[in-house]
Amino acid sequence: MSRRSFAKRAGVVSAVSLTGLAGCLGEDEGDGGDYPEQDITWIIPFSQGGGTDVYAREMSPHLSEELGVNIAIENISGAASLRGTGEMMQSEPDGYTVAAYNPPSTPVSEMVTPQDYELENATGLGLFASTPFVVVANPEHEIEDYGDLIDRYDDGELTNFSGKERGGVDHVMATIMRNSHGLNWDQYVGYDGSGPAVEATLSGEVPAAVSTDSAALSAVEDGGVDLVTVLAEDGSSVFPDEESITDQGYEEIDYIVELSRGMYAPPDTPDEVVEAWEDALETVMTSDEMEEWSEETGNEVLFGTGEEAEEVVQEAYDEIPDAIDLEEVREAEQEG
């Protein structure tokens, strides 16, 4: 399954009437069992204020209402999201400790820094958003498009390229862009999030960066950075008029350039837990309240099943090791 396919299907779901979906999960006899019966801990393996945290704090009151119990958000950042993800993976598979992370981001972190758990075995609960990456540049360079950016790096006018931390998904993405498209940067400069990478581009500390579309929106609108291209083949709802790299004739690399924001639980989590979360997520993510929030903030919302959440993780493990030398990324991370 391509990373965009669940989004396309979810777009159909979101257009469907919510009649029949608004009932609380406690009315679901049989298949739903008695879950949940106590409060749920929702681990966000990123700092407060980041993209995943913003989604979680908007979603949690609605999910709590649907599930009928309190949902406590716990930010456990560190190790490129592996610390918090590990807390979830090593908890009891009873549905009372869940986590949100963003394939291919967290899978990339685990590939670069292998852990003592198998992330591929996590139980998917559902998908709630899809966030494409873009490339931005400092306006003083007057970059016309992606091809022009490649030419500037190729002739040595530009050398540094940036994004989130070294060894993470942005670093791997930049390396794949170099290997597949000829974006021949010399040094990758990592920052603590897309926002700081955009700010460094705005200030001229670095000439260009990869960023999520939502993190770049304000700086692009203010003219602080130029939008060079959208990296995902199907474009960006935040920048609907901007061409993608495939529009410009470059190879599609969607397996790395779009975050699928999902909910996960430990391996062997019971089906009744998955069903409860799928029902709650579908109701919440297709609600008028979340659609209005999406329109106001530019944060895309959608719904994908638990199976689809597992598929985007598996896609990352299937595609990325064949596209890049992970040892090269590990060595670069250690040098940084």
- Residue pLDDT, tens place only, 79-126: 889 999 999 999 999 999 999 999 999 999 999 999 999 999 999 999
The rounded mean pLDDT for the chain is: 90
Residue with tokens 């490339």: 135
Length of the chain: 336
User: Measured between alpha carbons, how far is 23 from 41 in angstroms, rounded to an integer?
Assistant: 23
What pLDDT does 83 receive? 96
Phi, psi of 189 (to 5 degrees): -105, 120
First to last CA, the chain: 35
pLDDT bucket at 13, cuts 50 / 70 / 90: very low
3 state DSSP class of 91: coil
23 against 252, higher pLDDT = 252
- Tens digits of residue pLDDT in 265-277: 999 999 999 999 9
pLDDT bucket at 163, cuts 50 / 70 / 90: very high
User: Measured between alpha carbons, how far is 271 from 65 in angstroms, rounded to an integer?
Assistant: 21
pLDDT bucket at 33, cuts 50 / 70 / 90: low
**% the chain with pLDDT above 70:** 90
The stretch 138-144 carries a mean pLDDT of 98
The two structure tokens encoding residue 192: 């603590």
* Domains of the chain with bracketed CATH: 5-130+259-323 (3.40.190.150), 132-255+325-335 (3.40.190.10)
Residue with tokens 């899978």: 107
Phi, psi of 138 (to 5 degrees): -65, 130
User: Measured between alpha carbons, how far is 84 from 21 in angstroms, rounded to an integer?
Assistant: 32
What pLDDT does 336 receive? 60
- Tens digits of residue pLDDT in 187-225: 999 998 888 999 999 999 999 999 999 899 999 999 999
Rounded to whole angstroms, what are the CA distances from 224 to 94, 136, 211? 47, 10, 14
On the question of pLDDT at 310 being above 80, the answer is yes
Lowest mean pLDDT among 19-28, 43-52, 325-334: 19-28
Q: Which amino acid is at 210?
A: V
On the question of pLDDT at 8 being above 90, the answer is no
User: Measured between alpha carbons, how far is 109 from 267 in angstroms, rounded to an integer?
Assistant: 19
